[in-house]
Amino acid sequence: MLDLSRLEISRRTFVGGVGVGALAGLLAACGGSGTAPGAGAGIRWWDHFGGLQDQHKIWAAEQAKKLGLPVEYTYNEPGRAVEALQLANQSKQLPDVYSNIVGLPLPALVDSGWVSPIELSDEALARLPEGTLVEGISMLDGVVYGLPVMSDRQYWACTWYNSEIAESVGFEPPRSYDEFRTALKAIADDGRFAPLTLALGASERMRDQADDLAQSGGFPGWQGLRYDTGEYAYEDDAYVNVIELLKEISDNGWLLPGTNSFQVPDARGRWAAGSVGFAVDGPWAPGGVRALNEAHLPKMATSGQLTPEGEDLVITRGAPAPVWFVAGNTKHPDEVNLLLESFTQDDYQAVLAEAMDQPPLNLDVVADADVIEPYAWLVEDYKKRVFRAPQPQVRNPAANEALAFMMPAAPHLGDIIQGYLGGDVTDLRGELVKLSDTANQNLDQAIDKAAGAGAKVSRDDWAFTDWQRGVDYAY
């Protein structure tokens, strides 16, 4: 029998024991995947939609009751969400359901075991608007791998203005570049408010907005790529005109001081504080503003997106991108499918609408949702102005193989805008030509690599000579 009274522990034995114990603990902590807290016990759901956190927490709790299984919802900041998923995948702890923030095309995700098929019931499929599930985007060989729940019909460079300042200063909602100049000048001359703020420090956001403005300015493509020729052409007049407009605004001193280094929350926050006339932001601005200063919501107004002469806006967008994926190693495929089906219901679509973030897939629910009038107006505008764009990976899913190899170009359009407004770039068109050359070269190299790996893909897949502006593209 062990006599504890005779057990002597020297200092060395004690410290050594503690050291060995700590080491054993460390090794245990580095151990296998099955030890992750919560893994396998229920459904784990991760996303990066900051404006939907509260709604998704509630939705997760409601669905947990219906499914009889815990649903653990986790929000990850967009800046960290990719790394979080990378680490989760490497340690075989991918959440059962996660949002689409991984930049890889669908076939690469399927090949790498990141996603598994989604089995939607006929009832759920019937609720999806026509053309929601598209081969090459959300399906491969007829199998659904990604579920879109947000609309592709949107534009991102919306001209938001403060209706109180508009009334006080006396400017009209601008539709054209000249009207915009006039309104900004009126605010500057008035002297009580700053005319405009942008997220100039967030060069990716500036790139997105300039891409949209160039398209509404007549560029026959998107993100620098011409639909008709399949060539990058950032040096097009439509791009130059947009950037020159921004330069003129900056040189006139019409930007709120500090705008050069503003990130998205900085710019939105300053505008929501109420002393800036205009902000260029996406349709999700009301949701973001509500989180920062709800009192500003009633003052929000928008005139849509600018066109050079105030002509009718024409925007093109690809098929709805998948929003939700199911992990390749989920232990609850049936329950996860039911959770995903719940996202197709009108009440979930109404939740999306009322969050006033990205518009829901079913745009019709917005009219009856509790949203501010400008948001409802924008969504109605989307229905009229946004058309379906051609996409190489829809015409030939093998194009996805090339897209997975595509290196991003640097400096990209947003960087060039930042540099041109700050005086670091002096030859704008020359810099845009260089960007086009780099992007074309990167695409050619990506196609060569994909072709070398056996994919039947060529640069011709990117050219849609029969594309017409203002018409939904049909293959």
Residues forming contacts to other proteins in the complex (CB under 8 A) are 12, 15-16, 19-20, 22-23, 26-27, 30, 82-83, 86, 89, 102-104, 108-109, 111-114, 194, 200-201, 203, 256-261, 263, 270, 404, 406-408, 410-411, 415, 418-419, 422-425
Distance CA 473, CA 464 (A): 9
Q: Which is nearer to other proteins, 88 or 134 (CB)?
A: 88
Q: CA–CA distance from 442 to each of 38, 224, 436, 445, 459 (Å)?
A: 42, 13, 10, 5, 12
The distance of closest approach from Cβ of residue 27 to other proteins in the complex, given in angstroms and rounded to an integer, is: 8
Distance CA 224, CA 234 (A): 5
Picking from 209, 210, 202, the residue whose alpha carbon sits closest to that of residue 259 is 202
Whether omega before 411 lies within 30 degrees of 0, making that bond cis, reads yes
The distance of closest approach from Cβ of residue 13 to other proteins in the complex, given in angstroms and rounded to an integer, is: 10
Q: Which is nearer to other proteins, 42 or 397 (CB)?
A: 397
The distance of closest approach from Cβ of residue 81 to other proteins in the complex, given in angstroms and rounded to an integer, is: 11
Q: CA–CA distance from 449 to each of 1, 113, 136, 229 (Å)?
A: 72, 21, 19, 21
Q: Which is nearer to other proteins, 142 or 408 (CB)?
A: 408
Strand runs labelled E in 65-155: 71-75, 97-99, 139-140, 143-144, 146-147
Neighbour tally for 64: CB within 10 Å: 18
The distance of closest approach from Cβ of residue 416 to other proteins in the complex, given in angstroms and rounded to an integer, is: 8
The distance of closest approach from Cβ of residue 261 to other proteins in the complex, given in angstroms and rounded to an integer, is: 4
Cβ–Cβ < 8 Å for 386, 317: yes
Q: Which is nearer to other proteins, 89 or 396 (CB)?
A: 89
The distance of closest approach from Cβ of residue 418 to other proteins in the complex, given in angstroms and rounded to an integer, is: 5
The distance of closest approach from Cβ of residue 89 to other proteins in the complex, given in angstroms and rounded to an integer, is: 7
The distance of closest approach from Cβ of residue 176 to other proteins in the complex, given in angstroms and rounded to an integer, is: 29
- DSSP conformation class of 92: T
Picking from 206, 207, 208, 199, the residue whose alpha carbon sits closest to that of residue 270 is 199
What length does the chain have? 475
Distance CA 106, CA 139 (A): 8
The distance of closest approach from Cβ of residue 260 to other proteins in the complex, given in angstroms and rounded to an integer, is: 3
Distance CA 151, CA 365 (A): 12
The distance of closest approach from Cβ of residue 318 to other proteins in the complex, given in angstroms and rounded to an integer, is: 15
Q: Which is nearer to other proteins, 335 or 401 (CB)?
A: 401
Q: Which is nearer to other proteins, 327 or 356 (CB)?
A: 327
Q: Which is nearer to other proteins, 9 or 410 (CB)?
A: 410
Distance CA 450, CA 111 (A): 14
Q: What are phi and psi of 135, to 5 degrees?
A: -60, 130
Compute and round to an integer the Cα radius of gyration of the chain: 26
Distance CA 407, CA 273 (A): 39
- DSSP conformation class of 358: S
Q: Which is nearer to other proteins, 337 or 438 (CB)?
A: 438
Q: Which is nearer to other proteins, 275 or 468 (CB)?
A: 275
SS3 label, residue 182: helix
Q: Which is nearer to other proteins, 88 or 356 (CB)?
A: 88
> How do strand 300-302 and strand 158-162 relate by DSSP bridges?
antiparallel
